[in-house]
A and B are shown apart, each in its own frame.
Chain A
Amino acid sequence: MKRQQLSTNEQNFVGSSLISGRRIDLRSLNEIRDLSISFGSKYGQVMVKLGKTKVISSIQATVAQPFKDRPQEGFCRVRISLSNVSTIDIESNRKSQSDTLEIQRMIEDSYRESRVVDLESLCIIPDIWVWEIVCNVHVVDNDGNISDAANIATILSLSHFKLPQVTIKNGKAIIHTDEEKELIPLSIYHLPISVSFGLFEKGEIIIVDPCLIEEKTIEGRIIMMVNIHEEICSIRKGGGTPLTLDQILYCTKLASEKAKEISLIIDRELEKDLKLKTKQEYDNRHLISSILMKDEQTIKSSLPFPISNSLEETILDKIRNIQSLSWTNKNSTIEIEISELSKFTNLSLNLEQKKDTVQVINQKNVDKSGDEDENENENDDDFEANNNYSDDEEDENLNQRNEQFKEFIEITNILQNQNLSKKELELLNQLNSVSSSNNKTNNEKKESQEIILNNQKKIQNNEIEKINSKKNLKKNENHKPDEIDFSIAINPQFQTLKKK
């Protein structure tokens, strides 16, 4: 049996502190906890943190049959789930699950009646097929006020989500993937925001956004959902101390103020996230946010505890791999996916020495958008003029690029002998096909490649020994790179042509 009530110490203390006008975490009576929002890798995935309460939501869109009396309306539903993960001390019973049911119904009903989502736009073929959108909300950490956090999460995931396009031909509906046609966002009219109040001392003391301990000592609760346009979407009061009219009006005023604050934060975060338009940028968002350290020297000084040398190696290599990544521009023809960064090879050390040789290969004009610093002072006319190379220069560039590209392929061929995943093999085959279109026949190539391979292996081994002796690395004998996942990226910044 886990304890379901607070101890008498806590209850008495919280009560007496509220009477004297103070809250435990040094907030004022009308203050909300810090809100922080982060988006997931797919459209519609959101994580919301209100102080210590954490809530995750995601959206499922499926095709379903509509109701017969409403043949042109889709469905928009919400499901909230608490689990034992979120509340350890105070047990999650049927009683607390009935709390989540209450919140779930409140959100669903208020969204439907105040028409947040345009349900008729979710219709595919009237009376037959209709989109059903379900928002699943999971409470990861419960520190009070789940209703507010869940509401913010559902709004954000609904306004962040994008539906695939549907075309109708001959009575059949075809759902297009996001590669064929762009995704469309849902049509949302307004964003209702819920503000929950805690009542104490027969309604004379009103708190905003109670935390878990305060929720257990409060005598009653009232939840209001208000718009940024000061329109009340719903009010819910389930039991507890009675309130007078004046107190309710006071609550509505407070709620509209808080709703404006929260909606500003929501709009700001949505704008930031939806500015990332290209799909690659969107998928690689998390990699950008994980790069904090740029210099190798700052790792040791930034950590408060000492690290062994092997751990330091692993961290440094991961950082080097991330730093060498970039995202190709639209004009480039080769795009390589980024595989797991958790593993690294000794070959990565050699690649860094050869960074200058790896280039973006454009079959059209050279793309100079990577060198932004150089182009800042130039006008647009000069920029265009620089892009037009003369014929002589083009030939020289092509030759040099081909030679460097060969070296690039040699490295990849080395790795073909080792265990690679299917995706990486496909990509390497693409590379080889591109190279074959340029010059020699396949036989000549293979011979040259074999020779170069053998030479290169020797060079690599020598170089590895040199590097290791210089740095005095201590290797764990147990560490053996059995599987090698190779992460390459082509950096448009490295366009310095090698002069031989």
Chain B
Amino acid sequence: MDSELLGTFVLPGEKLGEMNTNPIKIGNGLVIRNGSIVSSKCGILQFKKPDKYWINNNQKRYNPIVGQHVIGFITQKAGTNYLVDLGTNVPAVLSFFGFPGATKKNRPQLKINDTVYARIVVSNGTEEPQIVCMDKNERASGFGQLEGGYCFKCSLNLSRKFLQPRNKILSYLGKKLKFEIAVGVNGRIWINSGSVQDTILITNAIQKTEGLTEKPARKVINMLFDNMM
């Protein structure tokens, strides 16, 4: 792997290195072709010790990966399953037994067009992805139906930034308003607060401060507050 290209912007089709005897873990956006490592997406090459390489890119289309938390909309009931739309090419399957404390007689009471916060359990290239509304230890812990509020779409990069532990925009907003937020890695964010005005403010604040650093983001948020009040 070229060490000169680490941390730089890379276009798809660029040769990044060749296969050596050193074992390397290849992640998002990297592909092996004719014995050399080639990039398949636009983005910045990243490296984490000791041996992980990947490309940090931004896109709107989501590919399901096991273990990630997503927001989905229920589109159909089929037998003992719900079909849930995650924004992928194929809807995911959520069975009635994917809820804590579910038995044959104790069924969940969700309807079509409800929103659901879930965790991906199975995703190959061959089957439909399967999701589940509970923890590894079969507890609720935040999963399940999301009632009220408003859910909007965004890019995958934005949703990943809001899942980081110390997000500055969220902390700044939290000083001024009270709200509840759920972030799905498939590019969907759900917000609920006491009044309609506050949720509108927060959705616009999140959408308009994408890609900004701290100070200009604060300016934008302050402008939004002034216009609303």
Contacts and interface: CB of A to CB of B under 8 A. Distances in A.
Nearest to B151: A9
Contacts of A305: 8-9, 44
Contact of A22 (B7, B9, B197): B197
A141 B170 CA distance: 30
Contact of A24 (B73, B76, B200, B228): B200
Interface stretch (A12-20, A72-80, A190-198): A12-20
Interface stretch (A306-314, A348-356, A418-426): A306-314
A478 B111 CA distance: 58
B85 A307 contact: no
Given A13-B196, A308-B8, A1 B83 contact: yes
Interface string B183-209: 000000010000011011001100000
* Interface residue SS majority, chain B: mixed
A26 interface: yes
A27 to B, nearest CB: 11
Interface residues of A, number: 29
Given A2-B85, A8-B113, A10-B151, A16 B196 contact: yes
Given A1-B75, A17-B196, A20-B196, A9 B7 contact: no
Interface in A22-36: 22, 24-26
A102 to B, nearest CB: 26
Contacts of A12: 148
A280 B212 CA distance: 40
Contact of A3 (B73, B196, B204): B73
A306 B149 CA distance: 40
Most B CB contacts (10 A, CB to CB) among A12, A305, A474 go to A305
Contacts of A13: 148-150, 196, 199
Interface in B60-98: 73, 75-76, 83, 85, 87, 91
Nearest to A17: B196
A299 B216 CA distance: 22
B114 interface: yes
B114 A8 contact: yes
A306 B9 contact: yes
B8 A307 contact: yes
A381 to B, nearest CB: 55
Contacts of B224: 26
B115 interface: yes
A6 interface: yes
Interface in B92-132: 111, 113-115
Nearest to B147: A9
Contacts of A10: 150-151
How large, as a class, is the contact surface on chain B? 35 or more
Interface in A303-337: 303, 305-309, 311
Contacts of B196: 13, 16-17, 20, 22
A121 interface: no
Given A13-B150, A13-B196, A305-B9, A5 B227 contact: no
B113 A7 contact: yes
Contacts of A483: none
B179 to A, nearest CB: 13
B146 A9 contact: yes
A6 B227 CA distance: 29
A212 to B, nearest CB: 11
A26 B204 contact: yes
B51 interface: no
B200 A17 contact: yes
Contact of B11 (A6, A9, A311): A311
B198 to A, nearest CB: 11
B168 interface: no
B9 A307 contact: yes
A5 B87 CA distance: 14
B190 A9 contact: yes
A474 B151 CA distance: 49
A474 B75 CA distance: 55
B5 interface: yes
A306 B8 contact: yes
B218 interface: no
Q: For B9, B149, B151, B196, which residue has the most chain A Cβ atoms within 10 angstroms?
A: B196
A89 interface: yes
Contacts of A22: 196-197, 200
Residue with the highest number of chain B CB atoms closer than 10 Å, among A1, A3, A12, A474: A3
Contacts of B228: 26
Interface in B6-63: 7-11, 15, 44
Nearest to A88: B87
Contacts of B146: 9
Contacts of A20: 196-197
B226 interface: no
Given A306-B8, A308-B5, A311-B11, A26 B91 contact: no
B144 to A, nearest CB: 14
Nearest to B44: A305
18 contacts: A3-B73, A7-B113, A8-B111, A8-B113, A9-B147, A9-B151, A10-B151, A13-B148, A13-B196, A13-B199, A17-B200, A26-B224, A89-B87, A89-B153, A307-B8, A311-B11, A474-B4, A478-B15
Given A9-B115, A26-B224, A305-B8, 14 more contacts: A1-B75, A1-B76, A2-B75, A3-B113, A5-B113, A6-B113, A7-B113, A8-B115, A9-B147, A13-B149, A24-B150, A26-B204, A306-B9, A307-B8
> What are the 8 closest A-B residue pairs judged by CB atoms, nearest first?
A13-B150, A308-B8, A17-B196, A3-B75, A7-B73, A7-B113, A3-B85, A8-B113
